[in-house]
Structure 1
Amino acid sequence: MINWDREADLVVVGSGAAGMSAAIVAAASGLDALVLEKTDRIGGSTAISGGVVWVPGNRGMAEAGAPDPPGAALRYLEQVIGPALRRDMIETYVRVSPEMVDWFNSQSAVRLVPRMYAPDYQSELDGASQGGRALDPLEYDGRKLGRWFDRLRAPLPQTMIFGGMMVSRADIDHLQRAFRSWTSFRHAVRILLGHARDRLRFARGARLLAGNALAARLLRSAVDRGVRFETGADVTALLSDGGAVIGAEAVIGGETVRIRARRGVVLAAGGGAANAHIRAAHVPHADVHLSMAPEGSAGDGLALAVAAGGTIGETVANAVFLTPVSVDAAGGKRTLFPHLILDRQKPGLIAVNSAGRRFVNEADSYHDFVEGMYRDQGDGPAIPAWLIADSRFVRKYGLGLVRPAPFSKRGFIRSGYLVSARTIDELAAKVGVPKAQLAATIEAANQAAATGFDPAFGKGSSGYNRYLGDASHSPNPCLGPIRTPPFHAVRIWPGDIGAARGIRTDVEARVLDAHDEPVRGLYACGNDMHSIMGGSYPAGGITLGPAMTFGFIAARHAAGNSPRGSEKEKTA
């Protein structure tokens, strides 16, 4: 007989998009939901992410006059995922995710709107979309969270300016043009004055964008629905009876607390990307691999599931979602920067290996870029690799942690993060690549920029490439010359933004045992759940989309109202 210290209908482990989605839907279904968060901040990796939610066939596409053709998304995913595709999970996701978005847009503070020009990452494949499947959270005023704002996980400091001000690419463009355009001047003054006002009250700006806006909107929705939160809650065990999970044991405030879960436990603790032992076992080049996952993503949910009889999936492609990462060690503190969408795709940058040769299409997705680093290990190698650009490029676009003008790059040169040289030969000597080869590589890149055609890797040849290039640059928005000294380089390593390998589940998000039977009372979603994308990365938002969708599904199932059942009722 277990002596319970607390009770709830649904206990959720983790407070990212998956966990909060499950808790919100459970509360809306009449259940008492309790979220246990190991760290002292709410939001998980969602709060530091780009916030994109990928949902094919969403209502917003049709309302914008560009509906998603039936079956197109499934055809696209079949090609990208390949043999790792679990058809039951993908079909459930494609069917239920639009319903999930409609529910959150109408029943919560979450507002997701389609980005009508945002190509899928393999944009030339059959079934790929050129826009509309990627949904962005609307900007949010953090002041609406009241006392909860200080409990929300902040974005990565390296992604903010002026001591805690979030900015979009459009904001940066306006700041750069502030004294050349009246529209840009007004925009810059508005956001700067707003930030100054916020800093009188908060430790950072309250104008929230991207993943921080999504996490804030989910937190506001959860609080409004009466969801309870416990931070600093380290779940150490799941409690079972007759093979069914009936509760959780957690250390809260230094005390061991046993919490009864009348309807079940949802594991949404962020996966295991931050766990060095898991990386060593499943990630190539683990000794130099750099993870952007928050410290709480240490594999706790996976260990809890296995101890309760669950099983871990075997990712065919990759155990993590990949991105190149650079490191600044100024002041003895390591600052990591994921090179996602802001620099590699722009005209006037190339990536070279230790032989001074290009090895990949720099404008391909971050996941594909690191796979290119892996492939080049036999001829290079490309771990680490270097991003090379000139002074004109850095002034206009920035480079990793180095922000574009008018921000200074001197501190990054002093720390060694940004390697600078007056000539190509000097740069080659500083980064340790052959001088003649680097010069030849840059000359070939300059010739490609002049013609607009990259014969080596086709940079700028796909819709996705061009989308993230510079539309004002011709003849190719992704190809530009490297001619203006001083010349610059930043060293990059393979890294990740989260785990793909996780707990096996069925279409109701129930954890599966070794016999493919559900472990009663136990669910998994988010990065704790084995990715339905099989370790591939088809589009932006393919982590948050499934996270929210299967959180939605888990809560509905726990409440006795699964999306599958409700669909049957509608048909009847």
Structure 2
Amino acid sequence: MSETYDIVIVGSGGGGLSGALRAAQQGARVLVVDGADKVGGTFAYSAGLVWVPGNHFMAAAGFQDSAEEAAAHIRELSGGRHDEAVLTSFLRNAPTVIQWLTDEMGVPFELVGSYPDYYSDRTGGKAGGRHLAVKTFDAQAELPPEWRSRLANSPHFAGLPASWLEIQEWGGLASMSTWDWNEMARRLSADYRAFGSAIAGYLLAACLRDGVEFRLRTTAIALTTSDGAVTGVRIRSEGGQESVVTAERGVLLATGGYDSDDAMKRRLDLYTNTHGIGSPLVNGSGLVMALEVGAAFQVFDGQLTTPTFQIPGEEADGRPLYRSAVREPAFPGGIVVNSAGKRFCDETFYRSLCHEMSRFDVRSQSYPNERAYLIFDQAWKDSYALGPITPGEVPPWLANGDTATELAEIIGVAPRALEETVATYNADAKLGEDPAFGRGSTMYGRNNGDRTVTPNPCVRPLEGRLYAIRLHLGSSGTNSGIVFNRFGQAVHLRGHTIAGLYVVGNVGANLIEGLWYNSGSSNAKALVFGHLAVDAMLSGSPGS
């Protein structure tokens, strides 16, 4: 059995939805295939920030920026691992794609003006203006009834139906206890979505209006080829029936990386002990299909890791739920220590935390910081939420003690070392300082702190009863992936492009960023290259 479309898209994350919407707008017959029963993929699980230098909101708000500044910023930080042509293509096209989605497709992006680049103090970095997000998404008003349950919603953010702009205006995540939770409850009951699920919702609604065909619970098995060109996809329905779908203009792989597949992580990554925190069906299937037709694979630094914590008994998608802990370690009144009871990084910058937790020490032949704990005091516990655990709430499983020594004995870290670590930290913290690791010394770190605490929103002595929770490394995406050119077309191992095959999102390698990363850059490249890949397919002359 065979069917024919102009374009077949495998995967319904941000890149797949962006490409599908662009194709439908140009009158193409487009089919989106996804093995999941919901639309959105890992994109819908994300925090929903989109990093777009020189976006059209910036100039209106008085921010100065240029593609040249952004390029200089990435060149300095990429470790020389970016692809210059891909970088240039992204920076040149990203503002146009976002404006098209906003003005013509009704995706209500807005400026999150006070969100800084991770490395805002480096060449070309900005203190704000490059990050966009969308307004909350009213699923009942925007989607047909049968599609509301088919939009993926992040288990990490499902209980927080607020936009990024609102969060910034309300004082940041550290001030959650002062928010209007009656309004939050109203939005939850009305099925409002936020963050990545909101963007996916607006894209899905637009795709449905424009006639995009979706087949969920349908697995892509392999690419079909003729004379080296990709011609379509072999698929298997939920009932087990196999068929071939011919793609006359091309196939777009938007399947994500391999962050939920332990076997592929063991094969491809240096550090493998990560837990997938995105869509559980992101299992490397798109990578395998591309590799089978000769696509080149480029290795970066494994997974895009995130510190996480687990609340006993919590599950999502049939597996233990690991909640993101990007901002909690930056709140004042807390530090992170290893099993030796010592601090090892600036906890206000999660990339530093992740790098050190996965660092292999050749002398001890071990990962000395892999077993890490967030230690926080009573004032921290009384002020901030820990996932669904409200300020002041102390569940019976949460380790705590009257002293550092007592807590250390409970969690199994060196007691005297933890006592000395807290005492040393506190002596400097009284002045709002952290000479050892520089907590709150960067604009990004301070943005994650509590602006009501002065002089340093990330630093305060630990006093009174102490609490601890184990941190783990989660994976929200893959850095390594398929090599592609400035149009998103897959590149063969021998260096030429593969006719009819395009990749978008985390199935592609981090060729824009190299070893650098910034919040929202993965989401941005997905939206932009989904758009560019379809334009290349429909033009018939993508170039190289």
TM norm structure 2: 0.92
Q: How big is the shift at 1:67?
A: 2.4
Pair 331,219 (structure 1): closer, same or farther in 2 beyond 3 Å: closer
Checking the alignment, whether the CA contact within 8 Å between 1:321 and 1:536 is kept in structure 2 is: no
* Secondary structure of residue in 2 paired with 1:451: coil
Q: In the alignment, what sits opposite 2:48?
A: 51
Correspondent of 1:459 among 416, 422, 439: 439
Q: How big is the shift at 1:159?
A: 3.6
- Superposed CA deviations along residues 200-230 of structure 1, whole A, max 9, x for unmatched, are xxxxxx1111111011011011111111000
Q: In the alignment, what sits opposite 1:309?
A: 294
Q: In the alignment, what sits opposite 1:320?
A: 303
Checking the alignment, whether the CA contact within 8 Å between 1:137 and 1:213 is kept in structure 2 is: yes
Q: Distance in 1 between matches of 2:383 and 2:543?
A: 50
Q: In the alignment, what sits opposite 2:253?
A: 267
Q: Distance in 2 between matches of 1:376 and 1:296?
A: 29
Q: In the alignment, what sits opposite 1:189?
A: 182
Pair 557,488 (structure 1): closer, same or farther in 2 beyond 3 Å: same
Pair 527,430 (structure 1): closer, same or farther in 2 beyond 3 Å: same
* Secondary structure of residue in 1 paired with 2:436: coil
Determine whether 1:77 maps to 2:77: no
* Secondary structure of residue in 2 paired with 1:352: strand
Q: In the alignment, what sits opposite 1:180?
A: none
Q: In the alignment, what sits opposite 1:201?
A: none
Q: Distance in 1 between matches of 2:118 and 2:322?
A: 24
Q: In the alignment, what sits opposite 2:467?
A: 488
Q: How big is the shift at 1:562?
A: 8.1
Q: Distance in 1 between matches of 2:312 and 2:175?
A: 30
Q: In the alignment, what sits opposite 1:356?
A: 341
Q: In the alignment, what sits opposite 2:375?
A: 388
* Secondary structure of residue in 1 paired with 2:407: helix
Determine whether 1:369 maps to 2:353: yes
Checking the alignment, whether the CA contact within 8 Å between 2:359 and 2:368 is kept in structure 1 is: no
Q: Distance in 2 between matches of 1:451 and 1:297?
A: 46
Q: Distance in 2 between matches of 1:563 and 1:110?
A: 27
Correspondent of 2:37 among 40, 45, 57: 40
Q: How big is the shift at 1:533?
A: 4.1
Q: Distance in 2 between matches of 1:292 and 1:472?
A: 31
Q: In the alignment, what sits opposite 1:151?
A: 150
Q: In the alignment, what sits opposite 2:195?
A: 210
* Secondary structure of residue in 1 paired with 2:430: helix
- Superposed CA deviations along residues 54-90 of structure 1, whole A, max 9, x for unmatched, are 1111111011011214511111101111221211111
Q: How big is the shift at 1:534?
A: 5.0
Checking the alignment, whether the CA contact within 8 Å between 1:28 and 1:225 is kept in structure 2 is: yes
- Superposed CA deviations along residues 18-72 of structure 1, whole A, max 9, x for unmatched, are 0010110011111111100111111000111101111111111011011214511
What CA RMSD, in Å, does the superposition of the two structures yield over aligned residues? 2.2
- Superposed CA deviations along residues 364-417 of structure 1, whole A, max 9, x for unmatched, are 1x2232112234746882111111001210221133x353326x332xx33xxx
Q: Distance in 1 between matches of 2:320 and 2:181?
A: 31
- Aligned-pair identity in percent equals 28
Q: Distance in 2 between matches of 1:30 and 1:125?
A: 44
- What is the one-letter code of the residue matched to 2:60? E
Q: In the alignment, what sits opposite 2:90?
A: 93
Determine whether 1:497 maps to 2:476: yes
- What is the one-letter code of the residue matched to 1:241? S
Q: Distance in 1 between matches of 2:187 and 2:510?
A: 39
Q: Distance in 2 between matches of 1:167 and 1:27?
A: 30
Correspondent of 1:552 among 527, 531, 535: 531
Q: In the alignment, what sits opposite 1:276?
A: 262
Q: In the alignment, what sits opposite 1:106?
A: 103
Pair 55,430 (structure 1): closer, same or farther in 2 beyond 3 Å: same
Q: Which runs of 5+ in 2 are unaligned?
A: none
Q: Distance in 2 between matches of 1:440 and 1:76?
A: 39
Correspondent of 1:330 among 313, 322, 325: 313
Of 29-38 and 533-542, more deviation after overlay is shown by 533-542
- What is the one-letter code of the residue matched to 2:441? S
TM norm structure 1: 0.88
* Secondary structure of residue in 2 paired with 1:82: coil
Pair 331,450 (structure 1): closer, same or farther in 2 beyond 3 Å: closer
Q: In the alignment, what sits opposite 1:474?
A: 454
Checking the alignment, whether the CA contact within 8 Å between 1:321 and 1:535 is kept in structure 2 is: no
* Secondary structure of residue in 1 paired with 2:536: helix
- Superposed CA deviations along residues 112-146 of structure 1, whole A, max 9, x for unmatched, are 22211111111221110111111111211111112
Q: Distance in 2 between matches of 1:218 and 1:557?
A: 20
Q: Distance in 2 between matches of 1:409 and 1:434?
A: 24
Q: How big is the shift at 1:561?
A: 7.7
* Secondary structure of residue in 2 paired with 1:295: coil
Q: Distance in 2 between matches of 1:360 and 1:116?
A: 28
Pair 535,370 (structure 1): closer, same or farther in 2 beyond 3 Å: farther
Q: How big is the shift at 1:439?
A: 1.0
Determine whether 1:118 maps to 2:118: no
* Secondary structure of residue in 2 paired with 1:480: coil
Correspondent of 1:506 among 485, 488, 511: 485
* Secondary structure of residue in 1 paired with 2:89: helix
Correspondent of 1:139 among 136, 145, 158: 136
Q: Distance in 2 between matches of 1:383 and 1:398?
A: 24
* Secondary structure of residue in 2 paired with 1:351: strand
Pair 29,521 (structure 1): closer, same or farther in 2 beyond 3 Å: same
Q: Distance in 2 between matches of 1:100 and 1:518?
A: 24
Q: Which runs of 5+ in 1 are unaligned?
A: 178-183, 199-205, 566-572
* Secondary structure of residue in 1 paired with 2:76: helix
Correspondent of 1:12 among 9, 12, 18: 9
Pair 129,173 (structure 1): closer, same or farther in 2 beyond 3 Å: closer
Q: Distance in 2 between matches of 1:58 and 1:561?
A: 28
* Secondary structure of residue in 2 paired with 1:558: helix
Q: In the alignment, what sits opposite 1:295?
A: 280
- Superposed CA deviations along residues 212-250 of structure 1, whole A, max 9, x for unmatched, are 101101101111111100001101011111111111110
Pair 61,25 (structure 1): closer, same or farther in 2 beyond 3 Å: same
Q: In the alignment, what sits opposite 2:161?
A: 166
Aligned residues: 529
